[in-house]
Amino acid sequence: MIAAHRARIARLAAALAILVLPATAQLTVTAPAARAVDTGKGTPGFCPDGNGVTVIVDFQELGGTTIVRCAPGEQATGLAALKNAGMQITGVARWGEAFICRVEGKPGANSEPCIDTPPASAYWSYWHALNGGSWTYSQWGVLNRKPPIGSFEGWSFSKDKTETSNPPPRVAPTRPTPKPTPNAPESERPKPEQPKPEQPGPEQPKPQPPGSDPAGNPPPAGGTDTPDTTGSRSVDPLAPGPGVAGNPMEAEPPPAAPPVVDPSTTATGTQPGAGPPAAGQPSGTTPAGATWTGGEELARTGEDSGIPITTLIGIALLAALCAGAAFTVVRRRRATSAVR
Amino acid sequence: MTVAARFAAGRLPRTVHPGAWWLWALGLATAASRTTNPLLLALILAVAGYVVANRRSDAPWALAFRMYLFLGLFIIMMRVLFRILFGAGAASGHVLLDLPELPLPAWAAGIHLFGPVVLEHVLGGFYDGLRLATMIVCLGAANALASPKRMLKAVPAALYEVGAAVVVALSVAPQLVESVQRVRRARRLRGGAQRGMRALRSIAIPVLQDALDRSLALAAAMDSRGYGRNRHLPRSIRLLTGMLTLVGLIGVCVGVYALLDGSAPRYLGATMLPGGIVIAGIGFVLTGRRIDRSVYLPDRWRSAEFAVAGCGVGAGALVHLTSRIDAGNLYPSLSPLAWPELAPLPVLALVVGVLPAWLAPPPLPDTPRFGATAPVPVPSVQPGPAPRPAATGSAGKERSVR
Amino acid sequence: MSPPAPSTRHTSAIRITPRTALVLTIASIAGLAMFLWPLFASPSPESAAHSGDAPLIFAVTLPFVVAVVLAEMTSGGLDSKALAMLGVLSAINAALRPLGAGTAGIETVFFMLVLAGRVFGPGFGFVLGCTSLFASALLTAGVGPWLPFQMLASAWVGLGAGLLPKRVRGRREIVMLACYGVFSAYAFGFLLNMWFWPFLADAPGMVGPAFVPGDAVLDNLHRFFVFTVLTSTFGWDTGRAITNCVAIVLVGPAVLAALRRAARKAAFEAPIVFEPVERVEPVGPPQPATATETETETAHQPCA
A223-279: per-residue pLDDT in tens? 333 333 333 333 333 333 333 333 333 333 333 333 333 333 333 333 333 333 333
Question: Which residues on adjacent β-strands are paired with residue A129?
Answer: A152
User: pLDDT value at position B299?
Assistant: 77
Whether B335 and A332 lie within 8 Å, measured CB to CB: no
Same domain? B278 vs B316: no
Select from A89, A315, A322 the residue whose CB has the most chain B CBs within 10 Å, as the one to mutate to test that interface: A322
Buried-exposed string A55-86: b where 16+ CB fall within 10 A, e elsewhere: bbbbbbbbbbbbbbbbbbeebebbbbbbbbbb
List the domain range (segments joined by +) for residue B93.
Answer: 12-158+305-368
If you write DSSP's letter for every residue of A93-161 in order, what string do you get? Answer: TTTEEEEEEEETTBS-TTT---SSPPPTTEEEEEEEE-TTS--EE-SS-TTS-PPPTT-EEEEEEEES-
What is d(CA B67, CA A179) in angstroms, rounded to the nearest whole number? 71
Same domain? B153 vs B36: yes
User: pLDDT value at position B86?
Assistant: 73
SS3 state at A70? strand
- Pairing relation of β-strands A291-293 and A152-159? unpaired
SS3 state at B349? helix
- Omega of the bond leading into A107 within 30 degrees of 0 (cis): yes
User: pLDDT value at position A278?
Assistant: 38
Which among C45, C202, C206 has CB closest to A120?
Answer: C45
- CA-only gyration radius of chain C, Å: 27
Is the pLDDT confidence value at A25 over 80? no
User: pLDDT value at position A94?
Assistant: 64
Is the pLDDT confidence value at C157 over 90? yes
ipTM score of complex: 0.80
Q: Counting one residue from A and one from B, how many pairs have CB atoms under 8 Å apart?
A: 132
Structural domain total, chain B: 2
Element (H, E) at C125: helix C122-139
Q: How confident is the model at residue C89 (pLDDT cuts 50, 70, 90)?
A: very high
Among A169-183, B32-46, C139-153, the least confident range = A169-183
Whether C250 and B148 lie within 8 Å, measured CB to CB: no
Region of residue A108 (phi > 0: left; psi between -120 and 50: alpha; otherwise: beta)? beta
Q: Is C99 on the interface with B (CB under 8 A)?
A: no
**Mean of pLDDT over chain B:** 81
Q: Which residue has the higher pLDDT, A127 or C197?
A: A127
What is d(CA A256, CA A288) in angstroms, rounded to the nearest whole number? 11
Same domain? B95 vs B31: yes
- Omega of the bond leading into C253 within 30 degrees of 0 (cis): no
Reference B158, options C66, A51, C109; nearest CA is C66
Contact yes or no for A84/A75 (Cβ under 8 A): yes
User: pLDDT value at position A190?
Assistant: 40
Is the pLDDT confidence value at C131 over 90? yes
Contact yes or no for A174/A129 (Cβ under 8 A): no
Whether B46 and A98 lie within 8 Å, measured CB to CB: no
User: pLDDT value at position C36?
Assistant: 85
Q: Which of A105-119, C45-59, C210-224 has the highest mean pLDDT?
A: A105-119
Q: Is B253 on the interface with C (CB under 8 A)?
A: yes
Mean per-residue pLDDT pooled into runs of 10, chain B (402 residues): 70 86 93 91 95 85 83 89 72 73 67 76 86 92 88 86 91 86 86 70 85 91 82 84 92 86 71 90 87 77 92 94 82 78 90 92 68 48 47 40 36
Select from B333, B350, B359 the residue whose CB has the most chain A CBs within 10 Å, as the one to mutate to test that interface: B333
Same domain? B285 vs B322: no
In a domain, residue B325? The reply is: yes
User: pLDDT value at position C236?
Assistant: 74
Contact residues on chain C for A121, CB-CB shorter than 8 A: 46
In a domain, residue B229? The reply is: no
User: pLDDT value at position B342?
Assistant: 87
What is the residue type of C186? Y
User: pLDDT value at position B31?
Assistant: 93
Is the pLDDT confidence value at C37 over 90? no
Quick one: chain C helix, strand, coil %, rounded to 5? 65, 0, 35
Name the pTM for this structure: 0.73
User: pLDDT value at position B402?
Assistant: 34
Q: What is the mean pLDDT of residues A13-27?
A: 49
User: pLDDT value at position B248?
Assistant: 93
- DSSP state, A299? B
Q: Which of A80-84, B206-210, C66-70 has the highest mean pLDDT?
A: C66-70
Within B234-335, residue ranges assigned H as helices are 235-260, 266-287, 303-325
The CATH T-level fold of domain C18-41+53-266 is Arp2/3 complex 21 kDa subunit ARPC3 (1.10.1760)
Same domain? B150 vs B242: no
* Residue A122 φ/ψ, nearest 5 degrees: -155, 95
User: pLDDT value at position C163?
Assistant: 93
Q: What is the mean pLDDT of residues C229-247?
A: 75
In a domain, residue B253? The reply is: yes
In a domain, residue B115? The reply is: yes
Q: Provide the residue ranges of all domains of chain C, joining segments of one domain with +.
A: 18-41+53-266
Q: What is the mean pLDDT of residues C43-63?
A: 67
pLDDT tens-digit series, residues B103-119: 777 665 556 677 778 88
User: pLDDT value at position C145?
Assistant: 87
Q: Is C42 on the interface with A (CB under 8 A)?
A: no
Residue of A nearest to B44 (CA): A318
Same domain? B263 vs B337: no
In a domain, residue B227? The reply is: no
User: pLDDT value at position A209?
Assistant: 35
What is d(CA C26, CA B276) in angstroms, rounded to the nearest whole number? 12
